[in-house]
């Protein structure tokens, strides 16, 4: 670097608020993911850090306690949950003290009661709306009660149905498990109705977080393209996709417009590293010595570089720039390699 050269920016440059997803970013199950805690503590030395979760099974208090036990310092108001977003959305449809049939855990019940609603678990109590969120204890009987309450279509006088989120899967310490979207889909299959979604990738949960933290330039960190990255794009903020959760290199290569991250990281240590520039010349995309181009229906690796993450970055950019869907391209297996940490 020359005497008067400026250091290359990191993903954090100019950012005053960092918002992070939890499952697959900070932890998988009860345990912290490698490097996450130290990296986020370093972020918090100079910036405000908030946490957004689509997981509706716990309260903001219990989430803050869990994060603090892992080595972070987090207050309840620094946790934005999908049940909070659901209550914000619901008040414009069915104001309190209406009766809500809750399908979910303590996190959903607590937020409903804080908002002034009456809670029931039975369709026989004539609820005014159904609110559904993930909890490990949700059973077939809970899904059945929701289906019984939602038999009548809303345009024929049926009650509203709010889902906290539509994540198909959730990362756990033993692997990937069905998420709330899977459970919502079961009810949908039974009644033929679609739920209104409050959490990611819809905007209410992001708007709540940005307003709560008074952010002027926000960076959101997530592990899923279809919820985290899409949601950040919808509210116009930069995003990080980190390979410690659900989505893998093959998903990034295939990411549609509107679900493409600003930054792609192996793990959260790279938040503090200079992010390499993407160079384009004569149809070749180069990132830190890794070079890829798309010629006709072929994706060609011209140089692998010294780090696989740079090859993924170059490959993704080349494919995105080509405007060609990845499924009609011949992609080298090397680009699909996945040496990154998985939950």
pLDDT digits (tens, 9 = 90+) for 130-155: 999 999 999 999 999 999 999 999 98
Angle at 300 between CA 299 and CA 302, to 5 degrees: 150
pLDDT at 2: 45
CATH code given to domain 83-197:
3.40.50.1000
Which residues are identified as catalytic?
Answer: 21, 23
* pLDDT under 70: residue ranges of the chain: 1-7, 342-343
103 beta partners: 132
CATH superfamily of 17-81+201-271: HAD superfamily/HAD-like (3.40.50.1000)
CA distance 224 to 207: 19
DSSP 19-49: EE-SBTTTEETTEEPTTHHHHHHHHHTTSEE
As given in the structure block, the two tokens for residue 53 are 């979760």
Contact assessment for residue 156 and residue 189, using Cβ atoms and an 8 Å cutoff? no
For 290-331, how does the pLDDT look when each residue is reduced to its tens digit (9 = 90+)? 999 999 999 999 999 999 999 999 999 999 999 999 999 999
3-class state of residue 297 by DSSP: coil
Domain range list for the chain: 17-81+201-271, 83-197, 276-336
Query: What pLDDT is recorded for position 268?
Result: 98
Q: What pLDDT does residue 7 have?
A: 66
Domain 17-81+201-271 and domain 83-197, same fold? Reply is yes
| Gap between the Cα atoms of 298 and 318, Å rounded | 11
| Residues 146 and 130: beta-carbon distance below 8 Å | yes
Residue 306's Cβ-count burial label (10 Å; 0-12, 13-18, 19+) is exposed
Show Cβ contacts of residue 102 under 8 Å, excluding neighbours closer than 6 positions.
108, 109, 112, 119, 120, 121, 131, 133
pLDDT of 6 reads: 55
- Residue 142: which of 84, 87, 183, 189 has the closest Cα? 183
Residue with tokens 């009860």: 30
| Closest C-alpha to 246, from 21, 51, 41 | 21
Residue 164: name the closest of 76, 67, 80, 63 by CA: 80
Bridging pattern class, strands 238-242 and 218-222:
parallel
Query: What's the pTM value of the predicted model, to 2 decimals?
Result: 0.87
Is residue 19 a contact partner of residue 54, using CB atoms and an 8 Å limit? no
């Amino acid at each position: 670097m020359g005497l008067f050269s400026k250091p290359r920016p990191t993903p954090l440059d100019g950012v005053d608020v960092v918002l992070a997803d939890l499952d697959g970013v900070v932890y998988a199950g009860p345990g912290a993911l490698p490097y996450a805690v130290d990296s986020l503590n370093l972020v918090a030395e100079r910036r405000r850090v908030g946490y957004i979760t689509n997981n509706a099974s716990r309260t903001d208090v219990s989430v803050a306690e869990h994060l603090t036990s892992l080595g972070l310092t987090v207050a309840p108001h620094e946790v934005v949950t999908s049940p909070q977003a659901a209550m914000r959305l619901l008040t414009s449809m069915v104001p309190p003290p209406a009766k809500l049939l809750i399908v979910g855990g303590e996190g959903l019940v607590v937020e409903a009661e804080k908002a002034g609603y009456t809670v029931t678990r039975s369709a026989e109590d004539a609820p005014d709306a159904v609110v559904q969120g993930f909890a490990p204890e949700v059973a077939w009987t809970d899904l059945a009660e929701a289906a019984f309450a939602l038999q009548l279509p809303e345009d024929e006088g049926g009650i509203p149905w709010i889902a906290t989120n539509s994540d198909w899967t959730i990362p756990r310490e033993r692997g990937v498990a069905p998420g709330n979207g899977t459970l919502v889909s079961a009810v949908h299959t039974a009644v033929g109705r679609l739920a209104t979604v409050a959490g990611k990738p819809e905007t209410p949960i992001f708007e709540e977080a940005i307003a709560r933290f008074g952010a002027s330039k926000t960076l959101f960190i997530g592990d899923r393209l279809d919820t985290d990255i899409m949601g950040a794009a919808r509210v116009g903020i930069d995003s990080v996709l980190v390979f410690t959760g659900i989505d893998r290199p093959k998903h990034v290569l295939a990411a549609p417009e509107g679900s493409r991250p600003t930054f792609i990281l192996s793990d959260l240590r790279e938040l503090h590293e200079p992010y390499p520039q993407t160079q384009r010349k004569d149809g070749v995309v180069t990132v830190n010595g890794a070079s890829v181009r798309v010629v006709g229906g072929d994706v060609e690796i011209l140089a692998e570089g010294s780090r696989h993450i740079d090859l993924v970055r170059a490959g993704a950019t080349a494919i995105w720039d080509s405007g060609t869907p990845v499924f009609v391209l011949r992609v080298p297996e090397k680009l699909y390699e996945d040496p990154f940490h998985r939950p």
